[in-house]
Amino acid sequence: MPDPISTVTWDNHLNIGPAHAADLGIQSNDVVLLKGAQGSFEIPVKVQPGIAKGAVTLALGYGRTAAGSVGNQVGQNAYVFAGLKGDSGLAYHGAEVTISTTGKKYQLAETQLHHKILGRPILNEISYEEYKKNPKASMETEPAVKMDKVPTLWSEPFDYSKSPHRWMLAVDLNSCTGCGACVVACQAENNTPVVGRDRVRQSREMHWMRIDRYYMGDENNPTVAFQPMMCQHCENAPCETVCPVVATSHSEDGLNQMTYSRCVGTRYCQNNCPYKTRRFNFFDHWKDVKDTKNMVWNPDVTVRSRGIMEKCTFCVQRINEAKGKAKDKKTAIKDGELKTACQQTCPTDAIIFGNVNDPASGIHQWIKNDRAFRSMEVLNTRPAVHYLTKVRNAEGEAVEGGKEHGHS
């Protein structure tokens, strides 16, 4: 799983603030010699906003020698810098180290290479003081993060009122801590393959959902916003428009469906998706898993072969199971009875999923909230995923959104 802040996966690395890195003439992916009283080793650098000048950080848990084929010899063992501190045991901070350049390079495997909103209507936030004055001010951005009427060339939207279900998902950006539990849950639930460092370096990570992290304000002391991003199940789906074999299509209950057996791997859909949430399976990753290890696959979900496109399905296997049980009982699916893997696992209940055609459902209430918006709504993709604006209860911080605050 990518680190929630740095988005680096597979290796640990030396985090150093922008001001400190500039003084030392160091850039991301430079290899430095880190030396302390207890030992030394070479390690790649990640220039990480928000770290105080004069301080560096390094993750523990790497440099193992008895962790198996995947974990052995990955990264460096930072425990050599942990010293004893009286009766309180090991001290994990305060070790004095020196940093010297080596002239070497090592490309870290990062899953996010853009770090600022740059005026795009992707996510929105507002200060609490501004929100109290005018809750709708959070939507007053340029370009508009939420529009009363979006210009369109499409025909009238599909009438979902005739369908018993219309599935939608919403994320409260106030509650999301960026922990990534949802990413792991999705990977376990949907048999998403683990890919190696080299594939991630080529931007071929296979996670069906990701946690986008954006910085605002001074890079040496920024604020941070997290945004879980999965397939948006757009009503006017750009991917559906360009698929030559109708491998991706829309269901009557609002799902953007993926028919694996029809996909011929043109990847037009991935190219046409503004959210970049579709993943192309270049390899038969599952064939690398031998013997009883194959039993970890979820039997309710297809194990995909190479050459097809994959993406979030709103856990369609769980939807179909719930539909079947409700049919057997001759009842409707009750709100809260059906949960996606990401929703079920979220420790802060930041994610809600349900049938928006049910006026009493939680999802129906959430999307009617003053803070509700859809990412890049100006594109008129009409996503089924909504977000609730992040309200910062702090004064003087950089805030993305609101005409008064502007954009980073």
CATH of domain 125-392: 3.30.70.20
Provide the terminal-to-terminal Cα distance of the chain, rounded to the nearest Å. Answer: 28
What is 8-110's CATH topology?
Barwin-like endoglucanases (2.40.40)
pLDDT, position 108: 95
> Model-level pTM?
0.90
**Range(s) within the chain of domains with CATH label 2.40.40.20:** 8-110
pLDDT, position 51: 92
Asked whether 269 and 309 are in contact (CB, 8 A), the reply is yes
Cα angle 106, 110, 114; round to 5:
120
**Range(s) within the chain of domains with CATH label 3.30.70.20:** 125-392
pLDDT in tens, the chain (408 residues): 899 899 999 999 999 999 999 999 999 999 999 998 888 999 999 999 999 999 999 999 899 999 888 788 899 999 888 877 777 778 888 888 999 999 999 999 999 988 888 888 898 888 899 888 888 888 887 777 888 788 777 777 788 888 899 999 999 999 999 999 999 999 999 999 888 899 999 999 999 999 999 998 888 889 999 999 999 999 999 999 999 999 999 999 999 999 999 999 999 999 999 999 999 999 988 887 777 877 888 999 988 989 999 999 999 999 999 999 999 999 989 998 999 999 999 999 999 999 999 999 999 999 999 899 999 988 889 999 999 999 988 765 555 554 433 333
